[in-house]
Amino acid sequence: MTMLPGVTKSNTGIDEISWNILGQTYVPKQKSENSMAWHATLPVGTFVPPHIHPTQDEFIYVLEGRFDVVFDGTWHQAEPGDLIRMPMGLPHGIFNKTEQSIKCLFWVSPTRKLFELFWALHNLGPDANPADVVAVSAQHEVDFLPPEE
């Protein structure tokens, strides 16, 4: 999984891949053993609930829109030009609570099993069984936290 040199053009991804992850669109831009990057569009009202990456650092560079982000129970906002840093092991969740879609660039280091997780979640749809999503995510080193009371 050596990274090849080149340019991934706007509006395209690696091998023309575009994943539908529970109503969000993820387009992989780069993949190697050491890191993976993808462009994401999060429509109004979508989110990724609190979870932990025990083996990866994760980053989000906000291009458009505003994130509400929770780190280990503390809330923050991130707007265009902001970089969200989520160290491995830190519980975090991201939410679009605004009236516009969010566009951003995600990346993780190292890649580990995330590419395969996105294939496993692709096209499950917005009515996917949460227990199934949690179980498949855990098999790919992403651990979702139980919902708050």
Question: 11-43: per-residue pLDDT in tens?
Answer: 899 999 999 999 999 999 999 999 999 999 999
Band the pLDDT of 149: cuts 50, 70, 90. Answer: low
Distance CA 38, CA 63 (A): 13
- Report pLDDT for 147: 79
What angle do the packed helices 114-121 and 130-139 form, to 10 degrees?
160
Band the pLDDT of 4: cuts 50, 70, 90. Answer: confident
Distance CA 79, CA 90 (A): 21
Domains observed in the chain: 21-143 (2.60.120.10)
- Report pLDDT for 18: 95
pTM of the model: 0.94
CA triple 74-52-146, angle to 5 deg: 75
Establish whether the linkage from the previous residue to 54 is cis, with ω within 30° of 0: no
Q: Tell me which of 9-13, 31-35, 47-51, 119-123 is least confident.
A: 9-13
Distance CA 6, CA 10 (A): 13
